[in-house]
Structure 1
Amino acid sequence: MKKIVMLMLLSIASFASAKDIKITDVITQDDFKDFAKEFGSALLFNPMAPAEPLGIIGFDVSLETTITDISSDEDFWKKLVDDNDPFSYLPVPRLHVQKGLPFNIDVGAMYSAVPDTNIQLWGIEAKYAILEGSTLTPALSVRASYTQLQGVDDIDINTQSLDMLISKGFLMLTPYAGVSLTRVNASENSSLVTLDDVNETGYRGLAGLQFSPFPLLIINGEISQGETTQYGLKIGLRF
């Protein structure tokens, strides 16, 4: 958790100049594929919540940030940022809202606008709890999500993910873990190059911990490992 917080603070301090995503030089098909896989991973709609359902009257609203460890020293990143100096870690802050529905179903949406970049992002999710969980048994759920990149003229990207999550609460703590099947679809719209679309399927594992120090308040840390390593931090209200 300490490492996650430090990365969040470093990412805020790094916003010194605009770093718009833009194709600034000729890139190869392989470069575009590598970029799409890493950038697409940063745009995935991470769960940032345990497997247990919210319940019919349940509601969760939070501010979150995910930090993705990208290959910033690679040429394809330098050629796809307008100042040719990409972040070492790509931060994506977002507003995330979830609502509980009948039959152990939760739905949610998120929106992100990364400061000092042209990156805007929205996403939707739906989660079904196969097992609600109890004082003795864990919760088990399946979750589907979709995101769409906006604000970037040269590149179109959307992502999908299918997650299997398990969690078990202990007093104020709820650890959880999961595995994901992910999909990144990318195309370019630049006059500098003509490249084929990229459609990449991947896998990742994730683990997180939700902490509820006071009624309604939740603090959540999450780490995932797949095409890239990601760290997440969430602060919100859950009731």
Structure 2
Amino acid sequence: MRARLILLGILGLLWSTSASAGDNDFRLYRLSSCREGTMPGSTCQAMPNIQAFKDLSKSLGLVFAPSFLSPSESLGEAGFAIGFETKFSVAASGSHWNALDGVDDESPPLFTLLQLHGRKGLPFSFELDMAASWLVDSEMVYLGGGLKWSLMEGWLVLPDLSVRGHGGTVTGSPDMNLTTAGFDVSLSKSFGLGGVFSVTPYAGYSHVWIISSSRVIDADPGFGATPSGGYSPEFVFEQENQNTSRGFVGLRFIVDYFTFTAEGNFSSDVQNYALNIGADF
């Protein structure tokens, strides 16, 4: 009971901390330019950079998309696990990062996410998971979940095999709607060491879909005129549907109820390195 209260407190802390804007928040009007219109003085015909929006959406989707951070074996029908995770994301450079408050060039920062992650075993080797994560130095929070099925586990010398589907959405951005979905396939094998603890290496493939769109954006936020005639600063980025693949490798150590897991997942746009400290029951 005490552990559950502590973990709920951590989740509340993450949620409250995210209530202030930071350098990792972004403003989509920076992915547009103004063309001179017909009004005297400051005029603007919005010219959105659609490719930059697609690149930003894809990169942020890969930053927020969940890591696997567990072996292919299931918890069992009565089992559950809970853990605290930290993820570091390294993204490729690009002009789309100019949308971030803390970026003055095309080089993105090292992104850090803090996450609370719970998993519950179900009958027939299924497993349900829920997660809430916060992008440090921003107002953005990811809420998501997934369902894993261990098709093969505990078969003598053969590795365990599982598939997982997952989905989630990002809240806290005043400009963008961002949703991710995907599936993973993984293999793992546990080894006992000295009867004291076990180690489980795992590896797999993940495919991620990223769905994004914007709310109404003002390309000329410093000018307070009402849109009319040749002055048309407002625009919308229409829905973009993108998908990409990534591979992942990880290693889990377990001593009694306590677990420590390290994982890396890699794509051409973003590399994520994640750590999990938790307990399995």
Q: TM-score normalised by the shorter chain: which range applies?
A: 0.7 to 0.9
Indicate the SS of the match to 2:28: coil
Residues in 2 aligned to 1:102 and 1:120: alpha-carbon distance in whole angstroms: 31
Q: CA deviation at 1:234?
A: 0.6
In the alignment, does 2:59 pair up with 1:18?
Answer: no
| Shift in alpha-carbon separation, 1:32–1:187, aligned structure 2, 3 A | same
List, as ranges, runs of 4+ consecutive aligned residues in structure 1 with deviation greater than 3 Å. 83-87
Among residues 203, 222, 246, which one is paired with 1:204 in the alignment? Answer: 246
The structure 1 residue matched to 2:212, chosen from 186, 189, 192, is 186
CA 1:22–1:35 in 2, change beyond 3 Å: closer, same or farther? Answer: same
Q: Which blocks of at least 5 consecutive residues in structure 1 are unaligned?
A: 1-16
What is the aligned length?
A: 220
Question: What does residue 280 of structure 2 align with?
Answer: 238
The alignment status of 1:33 with 2:57, answered yes or no, reads no
SS in 1 for 2:177: strand
Alignment of structure 1 residues 121-136 onto 2, 5 Å: 121-136=142-157
Counterpart residue number, 1:175? 201
Contact residue 86 and residue 114 of structure 2 kept, 8 A: yes
Tell me the distance in 2 between the aligned counterparts of 1:21 and 1:58.
40
Alignment of 1:75-86 (within 5 A): 75-78=95-98, 80-85=99-104
The aligned amino acid for 1:75 is S
In structure 1, C-alpha distance between the alignment counterparts of 2:130 and 2:139, rounded to whole Å: 20
Q: Does 1:222 align with 2:271?
A: no
Corresponding residue SS for 1:116:
coil
What is the distance in 1 between the residues matched to 2:110 and 2:167? 22
CA RMSD across the alignment:
1.7
Structure 1 equivalent of residue 8 of structure 2: none
TM-score of the superposed pair, with normalisation by structure 1: 0.87
Gaps of 5+ in 2: 1-20, 33-47, 193-197, 220-234
Q: Taking every aligned residue pair, what percent have the same amino acid on both sides?
A: 28
Q: 20-29 vs 157-166, which deviates more? A: 20-29
Cα deviation, residue 114, structure 1: 2.6
Task: Report whether the alignment pairs 1:62 with 2:83.
Answer: yes
Q: Quick one: distance in 2 between partners of 1:150 and 1:195?
A: 18
